[in-house]
Structures are given as structure tokens and as C-alpha cells.
Amino acid sequence: TRSQAEQACSNDYNSYKKMYTIVLQALVDHDGYFCDVFSGIPGSVNDRRVFRMSGLGKTLAVIALSVGSVGKFVLADNGYNLRVFMLVGHGTTLDAAECAANDMIDKTRYVVENAFGRLKARFRRFKHLNCEIKH
């Protein structure tokens, strides 16, 4: 509950929106199915760090070091770093090619947004979870 979060390390779980949150990172495939989920990190931790801490992030980093690019990529928003295995949109578009790349990334990310929309619609309880924080 909110009062429990206020009592136990409230600054750690306080997101940039000033709400008590726990991060959920998920990998969704091109069909909108969840392939990997990582959660439990306090809301104050940024996306890049959450990814580095996750099993997926560690595995992809090892593969990238040993093999390099394998022709498959993770699409991510601007909260992540551009990596050999990760496509991130251009923050400021400079030419037509970067505009086209941003459009493709945005269109593909709708699959992810729709997957999360279905998850939230099916499990409305996720919006208001009562949980206890243990250290």
C-alpha cells in the first residue's frame, strides 16, 4: 500500500512522476507475445540501468561481445542506448533516411504498445496492487 511504501525507502520507489512504482521491463515479439519479463526494481531507477541489471540485458551483452550482430534487433525508446543489438529512434531527425527509420521504428513499436494495452485490459488489478516491501 502507499503507506508501506512511504515508510520503507520511499525515495527509491518514487518515480519521476512522484508516484510509488516498481519497474516492469518486458520484451515483446513481432506478434505481440511477451518473451521476457523483468520486474521488482524501484521506480527511481532509469531504463538503461534496469536493462543492464536484467537477465536479458546481460545475455544480449555477452552475445554481442562474442558474436556481434546476428541480424535480429530489440527496438527500444530513447530511454535506452543504441547498441549492436538495439535500435533506438533518432532524437532529432537530420535527413529523409533518419525520418524513414523513425517512422518504421514507431510503427513497429505499436505492437508493443498494443501488447501492454491488452495486458492492462485483461488484468486491471495491475494498476492498483497492494504490496509489502521487504528488505
Query: Could you report the per-residue pLDDT of 9-40, keeping only the tens digit for each?
Result: 666 666 666 677 788 899 999 899 999 999 88
Q: What is the pTM of this model?
A: 0.72
Q: Quote the CA–CA distance of 79 and 48 in Å, as a whole number.
A: 7
The mean of the pLDDT values for the chain is: 80
What pLDDT is stored for residue 5 in this prediction?
A: 47
The letter for the amino acid at 59 is T
Q: How far apart are CA 12 and CA 65, in angstroms?
A: 32
Given a cut of 90, whether residue 79 has pLDDT beyond it is: no
Among candidate residues 135, 125, 132, the one with its CA nearest the CA of residue 6: 132
Summarize pLDDT for 81-115 with one digit per residue, the tens: 888 888 888 777 678 888 888 888 888 888 999 99
Measured CA to CA in angstroms, residue 101 lies from 21, 25, 95 at distances of 32, 24, 10
